[in-house]
Amino acid sequence: MNHIKNIVVNILYLIQGMYVTILNFFRKKLTEQYPENRGKVFPYSRFRGTLVMFHNWKNQHRCTACGICQLNCPNGTIKIITKNELSEITGSCKRVLDKYIYDVGSCTFCSICTTNCPQNAITWETGFEHAIFNRSRLYKKLNKENSSLIKNGKI
Ligand code: SF4
Ligand code: SF4
């Protein structure tokens, strides 16, 4: 009799231990079947997938090449390359952005760069598919060709 009682008690303990597992068995599944559902996965807008530079319809950006993002990045992920450009208005030479190089392979997505940018020139997009076979392709130039600085304007 004692033997049967032990079996029943142990089964009850087992059900108690498996309670959450059993409950989740009947709940709606949240796991994404990626990459089978590619094209149907839409991360939240706050998701940090790809660092991008704002450009307006005239292909202009806000980056002044101040280098604050480069200085603050803990991994040396950003490289600002500048050039001198002759101003048509003042006739003087000034330093402008030539290439904004970003290495997604060393980025930790901490967002220190975006939060410290005084111009709000860079932000995040949700694209997350960065897997490639050639590491050199992880280096991206964020400013577009022939883009120039937006002065006091909003995009
Ligand atoms: S992105 Fe912002 S912080 Fe970085 S160089 Fe341009 S203006 Fe400066
Ligand atoms: S998110 Fe962090 S690691 Fe990535 S570029 Fe910005 S500051 Fe550097």
CA atoms within 13 A on the CB side of 41: 16
| Global pTM value | 0.78
Q: Which ligand is nearest to the CA of 77?
A: 2
Mean pLDDT, residues 44-48 taken together: 91
Ligand nearest to the CA of 99: 1
Q: Is residue 155 part of a domain?
A: no
Q: Is the distance from CB of 142 to CB of 102 less than 8 angstroms?
A: yes
Range of the domain at 103: 50-141
| Rounded Cα–Cα distance for residues 121 and 16 (Å) | 54
Pocket test for ligand 1, best of 119, 123, 148 (most atoms within 8 A of CB): 119
Q: Is residue 58 part of a domain?
A: yes
Burial of 49 (0-12, 13-18, 19+ CB in 10 A): middle
Q: Which two tokens stand for residue 102?
A: 């970003």
Residue whose Cα lies nearest atom 2 of ligand 1: it is: 117
Nearest CA among 148, 134, 140 for reference residue 49: 140
Where does the pLDDT of residue 155 fall: very low under 50, low under 70, confident under 90, or very high at 90 and above?
Answer: very low
Q: How far, in Å, is the centroid of ligand 2 from the Cα of 101?
A: 12
Per the domain annotation, does 42 fall within a domain? Answer: no
The per-residue pLDDT for 17 is 92
18 lies in some domain: no
Residue nearest to atom 7 of ligand 1 (CA): 63
Separation of alpha carbons 146 and 59, rounded Å: 7
Please report, for the domain that includes residue 114, its CATH number: 3.30.70.3270
Tell me, yes or no, whether 76 lies in a domain.
yes
Q: What CA–CA distance (Å, rounded) separates 24 from 20? A: 6
The number of folded domains in the chain is 1
Q: Is residue 77 part of a domain?
A: yes
The stretch 41-60 carries a mean pLDDT of 90
Q: Which residues contact ligand 2 via a Cβ below 6 A?
A: 51, 73-75, 77-78, 107-113
Note the Cα 61 to chain centre separation in Å. Answer: 19
Q: What is the pLDDT of residues 123-154, one digit of tens each?
A: 999 998 898 999 999 999 999 987 777 765 55
Residue 40 lies in a domain: no
Q: Is the CB of 69 under 6 A from ligand 1?
A: yes
